[in-house]
Structures are given as structure tokens and as C-alpha cells.
Amino acid sequence: MSQARDTQASERAAMEIRLHGRGGQGGVTCAKLLAAVYARLGKAVQTFGDYAGERSGAPIRAYTRVSDSPISNRNKLYQPDHLVVLDPTLLGPEVVSGLAEGGTLLLNTPLSPEAMAAQFGRFRLATVDATAIARKHGIGTRSVVIVNTTLAGAFARALDLPLEVLEAAYRELGFESNVPAAREAYSALRVREAPAGGGRLPRPAVLPGLPAVLPLSEHKEGPPTGLKTGSWRTQAPFYLRNPAPCSVRCPAGNDVVGFVQALARSGEAAAAEVLGRTTPLSAVCGRVCPAPCMEGCNRRELDGAVNVRGLERWIAERVPVAVRAAPAHPSPRRIAIVGGGPAGLSAAYVLATAGHRPIIFEAERELGGVLRTGIPTYRLSRAALDGEIDSILRLGVEVRSGQKVDRARIPELARAHDALLIATGLQRLRRVDGPGEALSGVEQGIHFLRRINLGEKARLSGAVVVLGGGNTAMDCARSALRAGAAKVTVVYRRTRAEMPAIAEEIDQAVEEGVELVFLRQPLGFAGAGKLEAVELAEVELGPPDASGRRRPVTTDRKTSLGCDLALLALGQSADASLLPAGWKLEAGRAHADGRPLNVFAAGDFSTGEGTVAHAIGDGRRAAQRALAALGLEAEVWAPPDAPKAVRPQDVRMGHFEGRPPAHEPTAPAAERVHNFEEVGRGLRDGAEARRCFSCGDCTSCDTCLVYCPEGIIRRKGTAYEVDLAFCKGCGICVAECPRKAMEMRAS
Amino acid sequence: MSRELVSANHAAAMAAVLAARANRSGRGFGSGVYPITPQTECIELLCEEEIEKGQVVRVESEHSAMAVCIGFSLGGARTFTASSSNGLAYMAENVFNAAFYRLPVVMMAVNRTLGPPWNIWVDHGDTLMLRDAGWVQLYCEDNQEVADTILAAYRLGEDPRILLPVMVCQDAFILSHTMMLTDFPEQPEVDAFLPPLELPHRLTDRPRVVGGLDFPRETEVHRIQHANAMALVPEVYREVQATFRSRFGRALADPVVPYRVEDAEMLLVSMGTTASTVRTVVDRARERGIRAGALRLRMFRPFPEEALRGYLAGRARVGVLDRNLCPGLGGIVWAELRGVAPPGCLVQGYVLGMGGGDIRPEHVERVLQDLTSRQRAGEPSFVEVGS
Ligand code: SF4
Ligand code: SF4
Ligand code: SF4
């Protein structure tokens, strides 16, 4: 090839395209894409950038030559046939220099060609808002939008290049995912033809004059550069707080990143203060919450979730969270709350701290609801529970205990108070609905737990079967062991992977000797007068259902499992019969005859979600709704927008050192099965908080300041200031921020 | 064969990888690499490749990069590295060592101006600084030639009659960062073109000293052998050209590439991509009736004296375009070429495009104008090009 070319002249006849962009915008890649398109059309091509010691953001040029014969011209392009401008702020006489009248000028701008005609009307003008299109399609780096591939689509349209060839070139160069944006630009391009009579005129090349240069033996004077690099900028960095996934996922609405970071930066008092803004029950949640925050924790991707639950307990054990001052309200309202479980307590806390008078009606002798009757003491010490309830009551909450409120009394309570909240939890228990359910020895797990937890005599012996796979099932199984059962078997209709119980609970149950039997569906119970066995059908897993879990399909193969006691832990639902006839719940508020009442549902009664954290969040919401309805508080908390949360790929893992999570020490299994004492002993210290990335929340780590190549980010207190006169919009600060506490915005 | 739109940096790396894999049935491939603009892309691509029986060692300096190549080569592996400019200066000691050990190392050098003050653009001064290092030096004019020359360099340097390292040079940015369609042969074709390296003096499991002390007599003989091997290069290169053509179906350019020389009264001689621009100017001159021609010097070491004498015979004027400067002498190509010009031939040196300025046809026109109007040769003349 060389030889052939060496013996035959091939000057001229090449079509020349020049591109103007900024370092980092992908101008060279754009030029290459165009070259690849023409190469596919059988042309000889050559493409290159005009390299300097380029700083990202500095104006750069790139070139593409296209010819029917081999190209041996190695000069830059001085008289292009077409010009592509990636960055509208570059436009000026220098950019269009050498472009012949009638040559195509393709601009990335939201403006129409007509709007540009006054200045550039002698050219064939083509415009497209490639930045908007690329942004819409999410094309770019971690920080900045990149328009090159989008603009290449517009170029193809301007020069009538076939779209299929363009798409093939994208595939070849690995830009397949940018094709939709290119296609959009292809159809969005607007063109204004040049006035007739223009066209390329052969012009003699004029060599530029050469500037004088100082000898090296002389000092250059003046500052190194007076260049205001801020004029290069199309986007600027912006500091903001992005939602952390832990906080987004917390059903109680806790500011998880906030309290963990407060602990890491300022200690447990500051952390307790953050917790107290949303929950009065941190000692409780720090023990029994399934911790969806940890499931969402970005640190899982590095070396394991931050032990948020452990930290919450650690903080609450040192500084009570529910101690917020309760300023007297000028006109305090009396609000009745039916049910003293977590939702009722949370609502009471909100109302009391706002200076109102909550009055809790509780059926049991003591407050706590399921926390007291359902959750065994080896999971939640009563000292911790009582401590937090006391803190809440001290804020000025009245309690009427031992008062079961029935349906008839609801309207009466509603009339007697400014508002009424119903927070009775889940009262209706699911059953097997099979033969033998009435036999002695078949009992609802919840009732069994209540007996145990309220200290009634419950010594067991023999074999116990627990039906179900949730936390209640685990609580029943482990409590039965502690109460003396010789053997405990949990029967669940799916597999371990689908068990809704907290993973650690399952692990601990197995450690303690609980047996798990999977893929069995209870059909009924056998026994003469007294339970002797549970009848089970074998189950197979069928195709996934709407939730993505494989649906259990019951077969007709049957087995039976001998036992002395069967505990039903098959789930619960709210008992809607508490609502008076004609009342209907709409968005958590009761309505009668279509008119809203000042009666609100709270917690599991309202949502059916069934965790303490959900109850806390919803109790707060219900209290705020009630206040809002009374014209007292406008802001009602709503769970934040999950899709906006910081994702693992937004975190610069490389900025963090690996350190495995801290786990709570637990009592040895052999010891703990003999008593009801707390298994988890709590974290040894709060150092775990320092593992938190602080997703989306600036820690004043200075990374942005250090990485800014222009050195123009300055500290301003704990925040930062960017000198926009020099910020060139490269986005390096944003790309380097370890925790996505910054973003680039159009400027 | 595959055709790819790649920069000459990538073309060099892709060719080196083909050569590396071709030695998998022999003693494999090893390379020491250190980045420097404008060759970094080349070694980056090399580092990304999985090469069977191959290893790329990332070291802390150019000096060590060549040391690693020397080690691999002494072990019988095929080897490759790339460098540029001040990197070559720092590497220099081991550049000589590779040649004096008679190791067929192949190095791609991107010609870049030596600093300070720093300049990243093309200038041939860096590799010409190493003209006495005992390497074969080949200068390329386009991307295809870079890829082809890397492959040919192995065949040439590994020939048992030669056993010399080969430097394949290309112009910074004008080639290194310019993408053009380039043809690459398939691996089996390369396997056939590059049989496994048999280095006669490779180290085995029997310990030996290499490069110990030479007494005057030994050095004398070793240098003469080195000179003799160099002297054989043009002949072996012709054989490589023939094999290359039969294997890959395209020509490998001559050590000196002529352009419209048949009836030329005057010749413009250049190296690297300047030659492309020179050809344009020759065509324009011919249109005006001026009998101009051009030579491109592709092989600088060994200096292709015989070929040059042949082309220069009977010419009245020769202009040499140097993209380098030896202060106190002038352009290096000019200085060497003077010695082979026939008596009575006017040989004038021009220095232009130092520091990477864009040598445009208009600049070469000035050279031609000066050459035609001259009565006799004078001091080397500077043609200032600007940016
Ligand atoms: S690392 Fe910290 S901020 Fe990020 S998700 Fe985990 S707990 Fe939340
Ligand atoms: S880099 Fe550090 S200091 Fe800068 S915004 Fe991100 S977290 Fe804050
Ligand atoms: S790194 Fe500096 S110059 Fe770049 S966008 Fe951030 S503040 Fe601006």
C-alpha cells in the first residue's frame, strides 16, 4: 500500500470536517465516529485531534478527512467543508475561520437556525439541542453530559448519511447504547440552507505570521496565565444533599445517614438528637427491627452493610432519644389514641412534643402492644422497652390502661376529643381452616407468646410444631425451646430463601436446635381428643408470581408430623370490624357519608406492614395528618423518593478502606436456650459508625477541593465555595466526590 | 485479514501482540513498559491484551523497561517496548546494552521533541540521538507502515545473521494519534511469517555470565561483528520484503522510497510524514515544469548508502529537509547525506518543523524555491513553520 501511494499523487479531493469542542466532551471520538461511518461507505478516512497539554475543558479541535482515493495529506485542516461545534459557548469568528460560504455549520444549541442566521447566515446552518437529548438519555460520565455521540447522529442527517450505516458504526465502536439519542438528534435536526450563490471558492492558503519568542536567557514577566478558565464552562458543580438509601428505606423515616454520621462526627448525644426527631423507640428498633436500611446500605457492595441496627441500640442505651422538650402549645388539643403499641406510642410522642394532650387507651394493663405481648424478652429486654415508654409518658401523655375499646365506643371517643387515632395493630389471625383445628394442643402462636411474655405459666414438654416462616414463627419456636419443649420443628411452605423472618433470627434458632422443614403446607390436625400430629401436603415451587418469588404449588403427596403442640404463625391482618358501620377509610382517614372525620388510622391497623418501624413511621404520619386536619401542622412526612437515592455505583469505593462490619456479641446457644435473657449483648463501641460512607451527605472531606485541577474550590466553614471565574466545568470534583454530595448542573 | 480504524499507536501495539502470540510455541513473550506521551496509548493497549505465554511488566522507569526487555530477550522470549523523547534519553544506557548483547528487541519510538522546555509534538531529535546505539532504525510514514514495519522488524532483527534490536519510529500525533484504516493479518499468517525465536546465546538453566569484562581484543572483534551484521541488514531486509509480500500480499516499503525521480534534476530528501507533504509539492512543481523528485529515507541505520548513491547519481541539486537539529552541525540527515552525494552535486540542508509545527506545502515550496535559485550550498537554512 505504501509503495503504491508513494508512486502516485493524490492531492486534494478530500472532504474535510472540523470539530470544535472542549477537552472531555469527546470531540475526537465524535470525529472518529464520523470517520467510521464514511469508512463503512467505502471511503478512505483519516481522523485526529489537535493535541496539546490539554486541560479538560480547554477548547480543542478534531478533524476528519474523507476521500475516494488514499489520503496522504498529513496537515491539519484549514479550509473545512463542514464544521461541527459541540459547545455553543465556543462560537466566534475563530471557530468558523476557513469555512467556505455555503459550508455546513452544525451547532449544538437549543436555538433555531433562523435565530443564528444574523451572525452565520452565509453558511448552511444546522442546529440541534444535543445537550438536552444526551442528558435525557443519560449519556455521560459520572458527572458530565457528553454530547459527541448524539451530535454525530445530527451530522448524519445534515449530510444525508444513511441511519443504518450510522448505527452499524456505533455498534462497531461500542456506542450501541447511544443509538436512541443519535436517532433522536437525527430527527430533531433543523436546517437552514445557505443563500444561493455561495459555495466553496478556492482560496490561496495564507501562512500565518509568526510571533516573537523570548530567548530562554530572559525571564518571562507577569503571572503564568491570566486565562479566565471560567469562560470554558457549560456546566458547574453544585453541592447538595442526596438521599442515602438507608434513610430512604427506613420505614420509620429515620434520618439514618444523619444519625450514623452524627455519631461518627460528634458523638452519641448528637446522634440521639437526630433519632429523636423521628422516633421515640430506638432502644426497641435497635434490637428488633429487620433493618431494611441495612439491606439498602451501599457498603454491602464493599465489605458488608454498616450495622445500623446495632448502632441505633448502642446510642439509645447511652442517651435516651425521646427527651425532646415539649413546649406548651397556646391551644393544646386533646387527641385520643386507641392502642398503646408502637404506632400509638409514636403518635403520642409526636403530639406530646408538639405541645398537645394525647390520651392512650390500652386494652392490656401495660403499654407496648405487640412489643410487650408478642416479642419475647430474649429479643427485647423489658427494661429497654419500659425505659422508652417512660420517656414518652414523661412528655405529658395520659394513659387509660385495661380499657378495651370496641366498635361501639369509637364514635363516642371521637366526639369527646379533638381527634381520634386508631392504632390497634393486627388483631385478626390467619388459620389453617382444616380439620382438627379445635383440638386441644392447637394454639395461635400470638396467644402462646402472650402467655409466655406476660409471665403466665407455660412449661412445655414433648414435641412442638410451629407453622409459618415469619418472625412470629421464630419467636414461637425459640420461646417453646426455652419453655422446655424437647423438640421444635418449624414448617414452612416455601424454602429458606423466601422466609420473611430476620436472617439472624433464623440462624440463631437453628443454632439453638430448632429444626426447619420446608415445602410443606398444613392441611389439618389429627388426634383423638388431643393433638397427635399435623397433617401436611408436600409443596413444589412453581413459576414466579408477581412478587418474583416462586409460587408454592401444593401436591397431593401427604405426610404427617407427630407433635404435642402446634403453634400457628401464619400471619395476621387488621381487624376492620372496629370501624363503625358506614365509616370508610380513605388515605388513612375515616369518612362517613363521604365527609372526612377527624378519625385516623395508624400503624399496622392502617398499613398491614407488620414491623415496628412501619408502625412508628405510620404513627407519626397519622398524628401529623390529624394535626394538619386541625389546621395545626402543614407538614406531613411522606416516605422519600426511592429512585433518587445514592446508588452503589455513585460511591467511589476506592476512597474507602475495607473493614468488615462489627457484629454484636451474643450469648452462647447452649446457655441461652435455658432462659429468656437477651441474646444480643449490644455493640462494644460506636466505631462501626465510622464505616459509614455518608452517602449523599458531604463530610467536608476536601476531596473535591484536592482534585479540582484548577485549584479553585475553597473551604467556607464546613461548606465549600467554587470560584466560578475559573471553574471550567470539567466535573472532576463531582466525579471524585466519594459520596455523591455534588452534581453538575447546566450553567 | 481485518481492517480497523485505529491510531498508529494502537496499530503498533496490535502488530506487537500478533508477533508476541506467534512465539507461543517458542519461549513466549515478555515486555517492560513505562508510559510517556505520546506513546502511552500503545502500551496501554498492550497491557490490556491477554497473551498466552506472555507477560507485560509495568516498571517505574524507561531504564527499567528496557532492562526487563533485555532480561526477557536473554531468556529467549520475543520482546517489545515503546518510548519517546526524554524517556528514550533516560533509557539510553540500556538501549546500548540491548544492542551490545545482540538482542533482537523491537521498540516502537514515537518521535517527540526533547525538553525542556517541554513540548510533546514531533521532532526526530530523540531517536537520532540514539543513532550510534547499534540499533536498526526505521522511520514510518503512515499507520499501515507502522503496523507492517513492527512485524518486519521481528523477522529482520531475529534473523540469525543479524541479531540486532530494531527501533520502529513514527511521528508524534501526526501518526501516533491519527486514526486511519489499517489492515492486520490473521494470527496464522503471522505465525508463518515469524517462526519461533531461536536466540543462539539465550540463557539456559546452566548459569552463565553475559556482558562481563571484554579486553581490547575482544571488544574490537565484537564491534567488527556488530558492524558486519549491520552491513548485512539491507540484503536481509530485501529478503524480508519478499517474504512479507508473499505472506501478506502487500509491499513493504524500501529503505529509500523514491518519488518521481526518473528524470528529476533535483531531489528533496526527508524522513517520516514530511515526505507526504513533499510529494504534494513535487507534483505542483512538475505542473510548473520543474523537474523535481523526492526521496524518503525510511531506513536510517544502517545508513542505506548504496541505495542513496544510486538515487543521487547525476542530480544537480539535493535539498535535505531535517526535522531535527544537531546544534553546531545542522540537520543530521543532511550531515550524513553529504557524504554520499556525487561530486559537484549541490546539497543544501533545511531545518523545519522542529517542535512539531505543521509543515504545510507552502513551507516546502519555500525550500524548493531556495534550492532552485541557489548558486552553491551554504549553511543549513532554517525554515520557520510556527505552530
Ligand atoms: S454507608 Fe452509611 S449512608 Fe451509605 S447506605 Fe450505608 S449506612 Fe447509609
Ligand atoms: S468531595 Fe467531600 S467535601 Fe467535596 S462534596 Fe464530596 S463529601 Fe463534600
Ligand atoms: S473540578 Fe474544579 S474546575 Fe472542575 S468542575 Fe469542579 S470546581 Fe470546576
Look up the ipTM and state it: 0.91
**Number of the ligand 2 atom closest to the C-alpha atom of A702:** 3
Q: Nearest residue of B to residue A54 by CA position?
A: B120
| DSSP run (H or E) holding B378 | none
Q: How big, in percent rounded to 5, are the helix, strand and coil portions of chain B? A: 40, 20, 40
Q: Which pLDDT tens digit goes with each residue over A65-99?
A: 999 999 999 999 888 999 999 988 888 888 898 89
Q: Are A156 and A170 in contact (CB under 8 A)?
A: no
Q: Please give the Cα distance from B261 to B268 (Å, whole number).
A: 10
pLDDT greater than 70 at residue A200: no
> What confidence score (pLDDT) does residue A201 get?
53
Q: Which pLDDT tens digit goes with each residue over A525-555?
A: 999 989 999 999 999 988 888 877 778 888 9
What are the structural domain ranges in chain A? 2-192, 231-241+698-746, 334-427+577-629, 433-447+455-573
Is there an atom of ligand 3 within 6 Å of A708 CB? yes
Say what angle helices B216-248 and B85-100 make with each other, to 10 degrees: 110
Q: What is the mean pLDDT of residues A242-267?
A: 95
Cα angle vertex B324, ends B322, B327, to 5°?
A: 110
Q: B233 and B278: one domain?
A: no
Q: Please give the Cα distance from B108 to B46 (Å, whole number).
A: 12
Q: B232 and B122: one domain?
A: yes
> What confidence score (pLDDT) does residue A10 get?
40
CATH for A433-447+455-573, options being 2.60.120.200, 3.40.190.80, 3.20.20.370, 3.50.50.60? 3.50.50.60
Instruction: State the cell numbers at A319.
Output: 442517651
> Could you tell me what percent of chain A has a pLDDT over 70?
94
Residue bearing the CA closest to ligand 1, atom 2: A692
Q: Please give the Cα distance from A343 to A359 (Å, whole number).
A: 13
Task: Name the domain boundary from B248, B281, B314.
Answer: B248
Same fold, A2-192 and A231-241+698-746: no
- CA dihedral (A191, A195, A201, A203) positive or negative: negative
CATH 1.10.540.10 fits A231-241+698-746, yes or no: no
Instruction: State the cell numbers at B331.
Output: 540537520
Q: Which pLDDT tens digit goes with each residue over A557-594?
A: 999 999 999 999 998 887 777 888 888 888 889 999 88
Q: Please give the Cα distance from A708 to A728 (Å, whole number).
A: 10
**Closest alpha carbon to A441 in A537, A526, A523, A558:** A526
Instruction: Say which DSSP state A381 is in.
Output: -
| DSSP run (H or E) holding A573 | strand A572-574
pLDDT greater than 70 at residue A222: no
Q: Please give the Cα distance from B5 to A351 (Å, whole number).
A: 70
Is there an atom of ligand 3 within 6 Å of A744 CB? no
Q: How many helices (H) and strands (E) does chain B have?
A: 12, 15
C-beta atoms of B120 and A51 within 8 A: yes
Which residues 6+ apart lie within 8 Å of B205 measured at CB?
A: none
Strands (E) located in B252-345: 256-259, 266-270, 292-297, 299-301, 317-322
Instruction: Say which DSSP state A530 is in.
Output: B
C-beta atoms of A51 and B363 within 8 A: no
Q: Which pLDDT tens digit goes with each residue over A495-532?
A: 998 898 998 899 999 999 999 999 999 999 999 989 99
B-contacting residues in A 208-267 (Cβ below 8 Å) = 208, 210-211, 216
Span from the CA of A657 to the centroid of ligand 1 (angstroms):
15
Q: Calculate the alpha carbon distances from A413 to A339, A359, A405, A701 in Å.
A: 13, 11, 9, 54
The more confident residue out of A230 and A575 is: A230
Which of A45, A73, A205 faces B362 most closely, judged by CB atoms? Answer: A205
Q: Give buried/exposed letters for A616-636 (b at 16+ CB in 10 A, else e).
A: bbbbbbbbbbbbebeebbeeb
SS3 A598: strand
Q: B156 and B96: one domain?
A: yes
Structure confidence at residue A3 as a pLDDT band (50, 70, 90)? very low
Q: B207 and B59: one domain?
A: yes
Q: Please give the Cα distance from A292 to A254 (Å, whole number).
A: 12
* B148 interface with A at CB cutoff 8 Å: yes
For residue A688, give the ligand nearest its CA. Answer: 1
Q: B150 and B10: one domain?
A: yes
* CATH for B280: 3.40.50.920
Q: Are A722 and A237 in contact (CB under 8 A)?
A: yes
pLDDT greater than 50 at residue A225: yes
State how far residue B258 is from chain A, nearest Cα, in angstroms. 7
Which residues 6+ apart lie within 8 Å of A242 measured at CB?
A: A644, A645, A646, A650, A695, A696, A697, A740, A741, A743
**Closest alpha carbon to B12 in B44, B59, B58:** B44
pLDDT greater than 80 at residue A205: no
Q: B63 and B101: one domain?
A: yes
> What confidence score (pLDDT) does residue A6 get?
35
* A459 interface with B at CB cutoff 8 Å: no
* CATH for B71: 3.40.50.970
Regions of chain B with pLDDT less than 50: none
A-contacting residues in B 122-141 (Cβ below 8 Å) = 141
Q: Please give the Cα distance from B321 to A68 (Å, whole number).
A: 30
**Number of the ligand 1 atom closest to the C-alpha atom of A651:** 4
Q: B147 and B282: one domain?
A: no
Q: Calculate the alpha carbon distances from A448 to A384, A453, A473 in Å.
A: 22, 9, 11
Asked if the peptide bond before residue B116 counts as cis, ω within 30 degrees of 0, the response is yes
Q: How far is CA B223 from the centre of its chain?
A: 22
> Could you tell me what percent of chain A has a pLDDT over 90?
69
Q: B35 and B112: one domain?
A: yes
pLDDT greater than 90 at residue A105: yes
Architecture of the domain whose range is A334-427+577-629: 3-Layer(bba) Sandwich (3.50)
Q: Please give the Cα distance from B164 to B233 (Å, whole number).
A: 9
C-beta atoms of A208 and B386 within 8 A: yes
SS3 A33: helix
pLDDT greater than 50 at residue A5: no
* A168 interface with B at CB cutoff 8 Å: no
> What confidence score (pLDDT) does residue A53 get?
60
Q: Is B80 left (phi over 0), alpha (psi -120 to 50) or beta?
A: beta
The CATH superfamily of A2-192 is Pyruvate-ferredoxin oxidoreductase, PFOR, domain III (3.40.920.10)
- Look over chain A and give the mean of its residue pLDDT values, rounded to a whole number: 89
pLDDT greater than 80 at residue A168: yes
* Neighboring chain A residues of B296 at a CB cutoff of 8 Å: 6
Span from the CA of A700 to the centroid of ligand 2 (angstroms):
5
Which residues 6+ apart lie within 8 Å of A79 measured at CB?
A: A16, A98, A99, A100, A203, A205
Q: Which residue has the cell 474507602?
A: A656
Q: Please give the Cα distance from A536 to A521 (Å, whole number).
A: 5
Instruction: State the cell numbers at A268.
Output: 452519641
Instruction: Say which DSSP state A550 is in.
Output: E
Q: Are B38 and A51 in contact (CB under 8 A)?
A: yes
Q: B335 and B378: one domain?
A: yes
Count how many Cα atoms sit within 13 Å of the Cα of residue B214 in the half-sphere of its side chain. Answer: 12
State phi, psi for A118 to the nearest 5 degrees.
Answer: -55, -40
Pocket test for ligand 2, best of A714, A737, A740, A744 (most atoms within 8 A of CB): A737
Q: B232 and B334: one domain?
A: no
**Closest alpha carbon to A85 in A68, A104, A71, A98:** A104
Q: Please give the Cα distance from A479 to A449 (Å, whole number).
A: 8
Asked if the peptide bond before residue A195 counts as cis, ω within 30 degrees of 0, the response is no
- Look over chain B and give the mean of its residue pLDDT values, rounded to a whole number: 97
Q: B183 and B327: one domain?
A: no
Task: Give A78: exposed, middle or buried? Use CB within 10 Å, 0-12, 13-18, 19+.
Answer: middle
> What confidence score (pLDDT) does residue A634 get?
60
Give A263-324 as a 3 state SS string.
Answer: HHHHCHHHHHHHHHCCCCCHHHHHHHCCCHHHHCCHHHHCCCCCCHHHHHHHHHHHCCCCCC
Q: Which pLDDT tens digit goes with each residue over A605-653?
A: 666 667 899 999 999 999 999 999 998 866 788 877 667 899 999 999 9
The more confident residue out of A327 and A679 is: A679
Task: Name the domain boundary from B248, B281, B299.
Answer: B248
> What confidence score (pLDDT) does residue A217 get?
84
State phi, psi for A535 to the nearest 5 degrees.
Answer: -90, 130
Q: Please give the Cα distance from A499 to A515 (Å, whole number).
A: 14
Span from the CA of A703 to the centroid of ligand 2 (angstroms):
6
Instruction: State the cell numbers at A502.
Output: 430476620
C-beta atoms of B144 and A39 within 8 A: no
> What confidence score (pLDDT) does residue A7 get?
34
Which residues 6+ apart lie within 8 Å of B115 measured at CB?
A: B85, B86
Q: B315 and B264: one domain?
A: yes
Q: Based on the structure, what is the number of domains in chain B?
A: 2
pLDDT greater than 80 at residue A128: yes
Q: Please give the Cα distance from A332 to A586 (Å, whole number).
A: 26
Task: Name the domain boundary from B217, B248, B279.
Answer: B248
Q: Calculate the alpha carbon distances from A672 to A11, A664, A669, B126, B148 in Å.
A: 91, 15, 5, 78, 77
Which of B142, B280, B386 faces A2 most closely, judged by CB atoms? Answer: B142
Other CB atoms closer than 10 Å to residue A112's CB: what's the count?
Answer: 12
pLDDT greater than 90 at residue A276: yes
Domain residues for the domain of B362 are 256-383
